[in-house]
A and B are shown apart, each in its own frame.
Chain A
Amino acid sequence: MDQKIKELIDSEITSNQVCLFMKGTPDAPQCGFSMAVSNMLKILEVDYKGINVLEDQSLREGIKEFSDWPTIPQLYIKKEFVGGCDIIKEMYENGELKKILEDKAINYKK
């Protein structure tokens, strides 16, 4: 992977506690799966940074290699890859998402 892309990803997940690599932006998602995760974070009132991979083709491919995960969106909490849309949805429904936010001391609506 391109060193510059790796550094970019590293710096994003280091400087943002909750980071969502997505298609589109939180205000204008361009894919249903990205929108779903974005909405769950909004409902929980989590402060997160959405990073639009559609703006940069090398980032779009780079994040897949970085996480060893073939799809977008990808959610990082405190530098840890938590999952893609299916996993986050499942965690949202069974309460595990709240638990991980709690464990990692991220503010959210209780």
Chain B
Amino acid sequence: MAMDLKEIEKYIKEALPDAKIEIQDLAGDGNHYSATVTSSKFSGKSKIEQHKMVYNSLKGKMGNELHALAIKTKE
């Protein structure tokens, strides 16, 4: 199972419309990504909450279709 980079971006963008998103396919296998997400919606939230917002935007795909997504969030 794998997920396309553009698809990940689309999901995050839907949940966090103002987000600036940089995604890298780390291994080139469509399975290991890293994403840096910058959004004003993170303001005042803990890191755990911020990462949960990104995970939630992926609607359960994280840990299933999407094996590994390293996340970095910025306000």
Q: Which residues in A have some Cβ–Cβ distance to B below 8 Å?
A: 33, 64, 68-71, 81-87, 90-91
A64 to B47, CA, bound (A): 17
Please indicate the chain B residues that have their CB under 8 angstroms from the CB of A87 in the complex.
47-48, 51
Main secondary structure, interface of B, reads mixed
Q: Is B20 located at the chain interface by the 8 A CB criterion? A: no
Please indicate the chain A residues that have their CB under 8 angstroms from the CB of B2 in the complex.
none
Do A85 and B48 contact each other (CB < 8 Å), given the known contacts A64-B63, A70-B62, A70-B63? no
A84 and B52 contacting across the interface, CB-CB below 8 Å: no
Give the number of chain B interface residues (Cβ < 8 Å).
12
A33 and B47 contacting across the interface, CB-CB below 8 Å: no
Q: A71-B62, A84-B51, A87-B51 are in contact. List 6 more A-B contacts (CB 8 A).
A: A68-B52, A70-B60, A85-B70, A86-B71, A87-B47, A87-B48
Please indicate the chain A residues that have their CB under 8 angstroms from the CB of B48 in the complex.
69, 81-83, 87
Candidates A82, A84, A86; contact of B72 at CB < 8 Å: A86
Smallest Cβ distance from B30 to chain A, in angstroms? Answer: 17
Q: Is B11 located at the chain interface by the 8 A CB criterion? A: no
A103 to B72, CA, bound (A): 24
A86 and B52 contacting across the interface, CB-CB below 8 Å: no
A67 to B62, CA, bound (A): 15
Please indicate the chain A residues that have their CB under 8 angstroms from the CB of B72 in the complex.
86, 90
CB-CB nearest in chain B for A91: B47
Q: Is B3 located at the chain interface by the 8 A CB criterion? A: no
Interface core residue of A81, A85, A86, A90 (most chain B CB under 10 Å): A86
A-B CB contact pairs (8 Å), 14 listed = A64-B63, A68-B52, A69-B48, A69-B55, A70-B63, A71-B55, A81-B48, A83-B47, A83-B48, A84-B51, A85-B70, A86-B70, A87-B51, A90-B72
